[in-house]
Amino acid sequence: MKYQALLKDTAAELAQHKLRTFLTLLGMIFGVGAVIAMLNIGEGAEREALKTIETMGLRNLIVEGKTFDEKTLLEQRKHSLGLTQSDMQTAVSTLPGITGFSAERSLDTYALLSHHAKSDAKAIGVSASYMELSNLAFAAGRNFTEQEDLYAAQVAVLGSQLAQTLFPEGNALGQPVKVNHVWLKVIGVLASRDQDQQEFQGIKLGGEQNQLFLPLNTATSRFRSLPLGAELSGFRLQLEDSEQTAMTARALDFLLKQRHKDIDDYQLVVPAALLAQQKQTQQIFNIVMSCVAGISLLVGGIGIMNIMLATVLERTKEIGLLRAVGATKRDIRLQFVAESFAIAIAGGILGILFGIILSELIAFYSEWAVSWSIPAIVLSFSICALIGIAFGVYPAIKASELDPITALQTD
């Protein structure tokens, strides 16, 4: 009964000064809302980035050829032929723990069309194992086989987006497509996935949904090479254990530097290292944004203390009367801490709603990903409640220490 009366008194006191209570709540609402919104957006960005990296294969090492102008290429070709199948085969036979590999060769695509439409997408010749190493699934049809690659079969696999462009009616399987001057038969269509980014941290990747894939030997034997072009535009190696990626990457880089005479004409991408770097970067971002948003909570706590100190001055005679009829110092402290805590709890609840709305608005207008973080909501609400108690203690002590006789005589 004592605590029920305390709650009723607290509610009545806060309701008596609605505008002042609401203005005090704003600091906590904005603080909690800002923490939740920033952490939710950060969580969403982290998950999107991690999904993108994971699609590259955490056990993979990816080597990509760099592009240069004709003058630079002419000078480089005196010392290095660029990426070659010999580079890949030497790496496979030299480095330990390699369980799979795939070569890639981008074509100079000036025409890509079907009987229904045309596209400005690119065609790329790949080994049969490319789809598996790139974590690409099929929505329809199949992948080309090693036998089809060996005999340069004129077959193709389309990305989901490209299939919709070239065949709006959805009947791509078995249909012919023309790449430059060569007709190919569609034998498979890739399944679409949530993200298909073209670039991440300055590294080109993805884009498979708007590409055409054909066997590597078909690309080599039936299409002309670019002047001064390398034999391969890239290749990837799959390791037995993701824990070996850092050490194997250093060995692969050393091997390629030796073969390319220290010519910087390739880029080595290590998805596992990108994953570790992204997690560390996101952790720092979350800490910084939480600290910035936490300042709003601190300001809100100062606002609570300010209002509670003003309330002590306003209710001095009431405090004296309560002491005169038997209220203890503990009762007075409990009353003021309860009011401060109630403001913080109300601000925390409204702040959660504000944070959810703010997250959705930011996601809608900026098209950023948002992922709900339950720990962020619990953390911000808990800090809000603790601030309500902490900043209410001093005014409560000040009120309880008032001399009853002096308080009663106060006008």
Query: pLDDT averaged over consecutive 10-residue blocks of the chain (411 residues)?
Result: 66 76 82 81 76 77 87 85 92 92 92 92 94 90 94 94 91 93 94 59 63 95 84 92 86 93 89 79 76 77 83 79 79 83 87 87 77 78 85 84 71 60
Residue type, 280: Q
275-288 per-residue burial string, b: 16 or more CB within 10 A, e: under 16: beebeeebeebbee
Q: In whole angstroms, what is the distance from residue 190 CA to residue 125 CA?
A: 15
The pLDDT of residue 198: 45
Say if CB 96 and CB 117 are below 8 A apart: no
The pLDDT of residue 411: 60
The pLDDT of residue 380: 80
Beta pairing class for 155-158 and 176-179: unpaired
The pLDDT of residue 196: 46
The pLDDT of residue 9: 72
Q: Residue 166: name the closest of 128, 125, 123, 228 by CA.
A: 123
CA 287 to chain centre: 15
pTM: 0.66
Of the chain, the end-to-end C-alpha distance in Å amounts to: 33
The pLDDT of residue 119: 93
Tokens of 23: 């203005």
The pLDDT of residue 1: 41
Residue type, 409: Q
Say if CB 30 and CB 296 are below 8 A apart: yes
Residues in the chain: 411
Q: Residue 193: name the closest of 205, 206, 204 by CA.
A: 206
Which residues touch 282 (CB under 8 Å, ≥6 apart)? 42, 45, 46, 49
